[in-house]
Amino acid sequence: MDFKRIITFLLTVIVTFGVIAWTSPTLVKNIKLGLDLKGGFEILYVAEPIEAGKDVTKDALVETARSLEKRVDAQGIAEPEITTEGKDRIRVRLATGDADEEAIRKTLKKPADLTFRDPSGKVMLRGNDFVEGGASVGYNETSQPLVQIKLKDASKFEKVTGDLIGQTLGIYLDEEQISNPGVSSAIPGGVATITGSFTYEEAKSLADTINLGALPLKLTEKYSQSVGASLGQLSLEQTVKAGLIGSVLILIFMLVFYRIPGVIAAICLITYVWLLLLVFDWMNATLTLPGIAAFVLGIGMAVDANIITFERIREELRSGKSLLSSLKAGSKHSFRTIMDAYVTNIIASAVLYYIGNGAIRGFALISILSVLLSVITNVFLSRILLSLLIKGKAFNKPSYYGVKEGEIRGL
């Protein structure tokens, strides 16, 4: 027995599994779930110009998507997926969990167009006259909450208020009048104030709404889909349960049917799954049901790679070759078959990624990653570990590799 190779094999396995055991809880905890697993909703908006007769430009569509993303961020929703599609569509996918879906939908579509108007309804100041994100909560001399808004041009506000001395200056959010204070003198300083019987929460909500600003385009819901948080959690639990049962059965099959190569396959499959989780975490990706489907498909292909290699090795053993010769010949002859299947999968996944969107792209990306990581673990790592055991001469009997001596033609 070559103790050096056996010890190298054991150290490789112990270190690998030690790293896996140490990092896996953090990796699993860091996985971000998509709306189909966490619960949430998806909306496809059709964009139209605010003013009739104008076109929906690409820049306006992108700017509207950015505005929607800011509104989602303001709601504290992590990892929103907001993409433009075609010439006039925006798709929004939000994993909201137990959050109030209806309130979020209203906030997404709300124009939040702030205007200051004279008593005749003439607009004196528009939203673009105010500093972006310049609305905040303040207090008057009686500690009553109010909303303060900074103006870009202080002299313009002073002139407007100077022209309206003795009259009112109505403050409107969209078409709703939220305040109608009287003007007793010109107001310098460039800070407008919205007063009313606000609580702090109401004043804060109004300031946040003003800070969101107006959307460049008008949005109409074309399609929507909701997944309840409990349904998403149930889907996740059932998927994980099915995945664990399937994985255990596969490992048992490999161990019973292929024996020593089955042990190598189990080590490589566990390493492969860990590497996939590691890359997933590194990419800061979001896991969805199609992603899990690609994940399971990748495991199936990884098992296939091992089976093809081990069957070829067994065939070489049955022809009368030595263990080491069988390993070299079996690995060589199986490599092309495995790579043909993997390249085919990568081509199909690349096409899906190019023409697809959202969940389809996620499926395609995980499928490609699965193939690349499978080559590293279930082709090269598997051969290295098996080579160490065979050259270590600790398991020399053909029966350790699932071949009976009576099946060997050369004996």
Highest mean pLDDT among 32-36, 238-242, 266-270 belongs to: 266-270
Q: Is 219 left (phi over 0), alpha (psi -120 to 50) or beta?
A: beta
In contact, 187 and 161? CB cutoff 8 Å: yes
- Encoded tokens for 375: 């080559």
Res. 254 pLDDT band, cuts 50 70 90? confident
The pLDDT value recorded for residue 351 is: 92
Residue type present at position 51: E
Residues 6+ away with beta carbon under 8 Å from 354: none
pTM: 0.65
Average pLDDT, the chain: 81
Interval 44-72 mean pLDDT: 78
Please return the burial class of 205, using the count of CB atoms within 10 Å of its CB with bins 0-12, 13-18 and 19+: middle
What count of other Cβ atoms lies within 10 Å of the Cβ of residue 219? Answer: 19
Q: Quick check: 14 pLDDT over 90?
A: yes
Residues 6+ away with beta carbon under 8 Å from 295: 243, 276, 366, 370
- Encoded tokens for 330: 């079996």
Tens of pLDDT along 121-143?
A: 888 877 767 776 677 888 877 88
Residue carrying structure tokens 């009368």: 320
CA 295, CA 32: separation in Å to the nearest integer? 15
Quick one: how far is CA 336 from the chain centroid?
34
Q: Is 56 left (phi over 0), alpha (psi -120 to 50) or beta?
A: beta
Tens of pLDDT along 73-100?
A: 766 676 677 888 888 888 888 777 666 7
- Encoded tokens for 269: 């499959």
Our CA dihedral for 58, 61, 67, 71, rounded to 10 degrees, sits at -150
Please give the DSSP secondary-structure letter assigned to residue 195.
-
3-state secondary structure labels for all residues of 223-287: EEEEECHHHHHHHHHHHHHHHHHHHHHHHHHHHHHHCHHHHHHHHHHHHHHHHHHHHHHHCCCEE
What percentage of the chain reaches a pLDDT higher than 70?
Answer: 88
Selected residue with higher pLDDT from 266 and 103: 266
CA 35, CA 228: separation in Å to the nearest integer? 9
